Chain A
Amino acid sequence: MVAQPKLKATSASPGIATGPVYVAQPMPAVASPASSLSGHAALGDAIDKAIRELRDLAAGTDPESREIIEFQIEVLQDPTLMEMVGALIDAGENIEFAWVETLDDYIRELECAEEERLQARAVDILDVKNRVLSILAGAPIDDFPAGSIYVGKDMEPSRFLAHDWSAGGGIALYAGSAVGHVALLARSRSVPMVIGAGQFATEKGQHIGIDGESGIITLQITERREQLAPPDHRPVGMVSIADNGTLCTADGSPVLLAINVNAPNEIDAVDAATTAGIGLMRSEFALTSLGDAANEEKQFEIYRRLLDWADGRSTTIRMLDIGGDKPLAGLAEAPSLRGIRLLLARPEIARVQARALLRAAVFGNLHIMLPMVMFPSDVDDIRQIYREESGELARRAVPHRIPPIGMMVEVPAAALMLDEFESADFFSFGTNDLAQYLVASPREDADFARYQVKAVPAVLRLLTQAIKLAGSKPVSICGDMAGDPSLTANLLAAGIRYFSVAPAQLPAIRSAIVGLRADGTKAAGE
């Protein structure tokens, strides 16, 4: 038997996958912000398309529906509407938000009208707003065949999320990072992934294999071998223990175990009764374009779905952590603006999300978490937005509730000062970013994985201090360290009693916790 050519790469997500190669084209440069002129044209095109869609709809319908559609078309052709949206675009606003802001103002006006017949029109305008919004957001992501092995220099999170991984497949990157966002997503979905393979040649249709444990890439796999190789990359040993994520250490201290969620469909494979709920939902992975960020209804549906699944269990949704190494398609900002800084610099984005969260809060045990908080004033400023939006919803008689608002602790400046964050209701440690900022290395840097390992003692010391500063406020951990069973003892010793991990890590962390005492020492007899 001829030895198959093998390449040594680095593991980024465990599991074995084989399949035909899909070689990605180099990523296009980040689009420059649309000029106001092209903004007008893009909006005009979207509106024309919406009108065509509505005309098609009107064709096969009853006179009453036709009248509603005629009304919607007339709104789309309203010259003052276009003037208002155009003025916002000229003032530098993104098309999506210019559209949403203008239409929302009008919807609010209608909702508050005394006449019932005018109020009833609000939903028609909402419909118009969402139709155009979905057209504006509709740039389809270049997908690749199901079951194939994605090969390229790097991979965008939106591309990962848009792909159907149920047929198997995997990822092999020439460069990439084990702690980058795609690696994080791959681990949470149990998609095998290797990185740092260096540029290697493949032909279209060629079958390759990747081993996410050893990091080995096997080139030129024969079809026969492929059939023998198990395509199964689902997590093994996923025993369902319906303890609602409430466990005890060996010496009887209660510990909560929840899951991290990225795209909302990740919860489909998880039984809620095996968890204490959702400790972290990264909303930026569910809302991958500016159009999504502007779309209150879409967000509301996503949040509601998570709350329905959790069925009363705590559900923590993090506001959009965008900017920096997590750009949002269509939004060009200074690289230093990320997380809460960006949300406060672009309050229209925060306000849409705030409304969707306030409305969803009625349907379950919702907690809101703020990303990349640095100073107590960040929390105060966001709270003010929630108060204002809550007042506005109350005025419109829309059911809503202000849930507890907590914060990620992932910037050293915040971790060192937790006793000053009076207006945060709870804290959750994001150890990936904390490590990144402690060692002053961007996480996409190839050396970061090495630095991160060496930074563990510093991160643990900072955590231990910060937990003391947190006083009586609830504290949890949702970073990668939470899902690493070799660190569970250290985290327990630091005082962590609430872990949130990728669903695939549930069994490993569960068994680690029950085998340890609350101080992190091993239980007798182990």
Chain B
Amino acid sequence: MNGGLRVESREGEQMHASCQTEVEVKHGVGLHARPSVTFTRLAKSFPCSIEVAINGSDLWLNGKSIIKIMGARIRKGSLLRIRAEGILAEEAVRALKGLVERNFDEEKKHGRSA
């Protein structure tokens, strides 16, 4: 019983982390409705807290809120900082950065619907 608890806590320590990254929005039209939906849905799939800040701003916005993300008016060329804290923080940051780099999977979506 005790051993089991120890293992869990050790795993928790490994997974519970704080993580941050920076990524430039290179393509497309920035984070309007559709890319915002994609971004916040991915963010919400992680149990950690996720926040974003634009172009060196100190204002950290809830990355799971479509209103905040869309309202941030993230345009082409914006520098997006993404930080996460909690369980799976590292994976979350990696996944979200990947999504921005893939231009929010917009082209893929277009390709599919075309």
A interface residues (Cβ-Cβ under 8 A, vs B): 63, 67-68, 70-71, 74-75, 77-81, 106, 109, 113, 115, 117-118, 121, 124
Q: Known contacts A67-B34, A74-B41, A117-B29: does B113 contact A106 (CB below 8 Å)? A: no
Contact in complex: B33, A71 (CB < 8 Å) = yes
B66-A109 in contact (CB<8A): no
Interface residue tally on B, bucketed by range: 10 to 19
Asked if B17 lies at the interface with its beta carbon under 8 angstroms from chain A, I say no
Cβ of B68 within 8 Å of any chain A Cβ, yes or no, is yes
In the complex, A330 Cα to B15 Cα: how many Å? 47
Which residues of B are at the interface with A, using a C-beta cutoff of 8 A?
Answer: 29, 32-34, 36-37, 40-41, 44, 62, 64-68, 70-71, 73, 113
Q: Decide if A79 touches B71 in the complex (CB within 8 Å).
A: no
Chain A residues within 8 Å of B62, by CB: 79-80
Q: List 20 A-B contacts (CB under 8 A).
A: A67-B33, A67-B37, A68-B33, A71-B33, A71-B34, A74-B40, A74-B41, A75-B66, A75-B67, A78-B66, A79-B62, A79-B64, A80-B62, A80-B68, A109-B71, A115-B32, A118-B70, A118-B73, A121-B32, A121-B33
Main SS at interface, chain A: helix
CB atoms of B37 and A118 under 8 A apart: no
Residues of A within 8 A of B34 (CB): 67, 71
- Across-interface contacts of A117 in B (CB, < 8 A): 29, 32-33
In the complex, residue of chain A having the shortest beta-carbon distance to the beta carbon of B75:
A115
A298 to B16, CA, bound (A): 49
Contact pick for B32, options A77, A78, A80, A118, CB 8 Å: A118
Write out the residue numbers on chain B whose beta carbons fall within 8 Å of the beta carbon of A118. 32, 70, 73
Structural contact, B65 and A80, CB atoms closer than 8 A: yes
A71 close to B37 (CB less than 8 A) = yes
* Bound Cα distance from A63 to B113, whole angstroms: 8
CA distance A106 to B40 in the complex (A): 18
Residues of A within 8 A of B66 (CB): 71, 74-75, 78
Most chain A beta-carbon contacts within 10 A, residue among B36, B62, B65, B73: B65
Closest residue on chain A to residue B71 by CB atoms: A109
State the 6 A-B residue pairs at the shortest beta-carbon distance, nearest first.
A80-B65, A74-B66, A71-B33, A74-B37, A78-B65, A117-B32
**Distance in angstroms between the alpha carbons of A113 and B73 in the assembled complex:** 9
Provide the bound-state CA to CA distance between A387 and B34, in Å. Answer: 37
Known: A71-B66, A77-B44, A117-B32. 18 other contacts (CB 8 A): A67-B33, A67-B34, A68-B33, A71-B36, A74-B36, A74-B40, A75-B67, A78-B66, A79-B62, A80-B65, A81-B65, A81-B67, A106-B67, A109-B71, A117-B33, A118-B73, A121-B33, A121-B70
Cα–Cα distance between A109 and B73 once the two chains are bound (Å): 12
Name the CB-closest residue of B to A63.
B113
Q: Which chain B residue has the least Cβ–Cβ distance from A73? A: B37
Q: Identify which of B32, B64, B70, B113 gathers the most chain A CB atoms within 10 Å of its CB.
A: B70
CB distance from B41 to the nearest CB of A (A): 7
Chain A min CB distance to B111 (Å): 13
Nearest CB of chain B from residue A213's CB, rounded to whole Å: 61
B73 partner residues in chain A, CB cutoff 8 A: 113, 115, 118
CA distance A71 to B40 in the complex (A): 11
- A143 vs B88: C-alpha distance in the bound complex, in angstroms? 54
Give the residues in chain B near A78, CB-CB below 8 Å: 40, 64-67
Do A70 and B67 touch (CB < 8 A)? no
Q: Which residues of B contact A106 (CB under 8 A)?
A: 67
B32 with A79: CB separation less than 8 A = no
Give complex CA distance A478, B37 in Å: 54
- With a cutoff of 8 Å between Cβ atoms, the chain B residues found around residue A74 in the complex are 36-37, 40-41, 66
**Which residue on B lies nearest to A84, using beta carbons?**
B67
CA distance A243 to B54 in the complex (A): 67
A121 to B34, CA, bound (A): 11
Q: How far is the CB of B33 from chain A (nearest CB, A)?
A: 5
Residues of B contacting A115 with CB < 8 Å?
Answer: 32, 73
Q: In the assembled complex, which residues on chain B have CB atoms less than 8 Å from the CB atom of A109?
A: 71
Q: Which partner residue on chain B sits nearest A68 by CB separation?
A: B33
By a CB distance below 8 angstroms, the chain A residues around B44 are: 77
Q: In the assembled complex, which residues on chain A have CB atoms less than 8 Å from the CB atom of B41?
A: 74
Q: How far is the CB of A309 from chain B (nearest CB, A)?
A: 39
A221 nearest CB across to chain B (Å): 62
Docked Cα-Cα span, A128 to B71, in Å, equals: 17
A470–B86 Cα distance when bound, in Å, is: 70
Collect the chain A residues with CB atoms within 8 Å of residue B71's CB.
109
Which A residue's beta carbon lies closest to that of B65? A80
A80/B67 contact (C-beta < 8 A), A71-B34, A74-B41, A117-B29 known? yes
When distances are taken between beta carbons in the complex, the residues of chain A under 8 Å from B33 are 67-68, 71, 117, 121, 124
For B64, the closest partner residue in chain A by CB is A79
Q: CA of A80 to CA of B29 in the docked complex: distance in angstroms?
A: 24
Q: How far is the CA of A407 from the CA of B67 in the complex (A)?
A: 41
Name, among A75, A109, A121, the residue most crowded by chain B CB atoms within 10 Å (CB to CB): A75
A445 CA / B29 CA spacing, docked (Å): 67
A101 to B49, CA, bound (A): 27
From residue B35, how far is it (CB to closest CB) to chain A in Å? 11
Q: Which residues of A contact B65 (CB under 8 A)?
A: 78-81
Closest residue to A113 on the B side, CB-wise? B73
Residues of A within 8 A of B67 (CB): 75, 78, 80-81, 106
Complex-state Cα separation, A121 to B66, whole angstroms: 12
Across the interface, which residues of B come within 8 angstroms of A121, CB to CB?
A: 32-33, 70
In angstroms, Cα B44 to Cα A80, docked, is 13
In Å, the complex CA distance between A68 and B36 comes to 12
Question: Hey, which chain B residues are within 8 Å of A113, CB to CB?
Answer: 73
Please name all residues of chain A whose beta carbon is closer than 8 Å to the beta carbon of B70 when the two chains form the complex. 118, 121
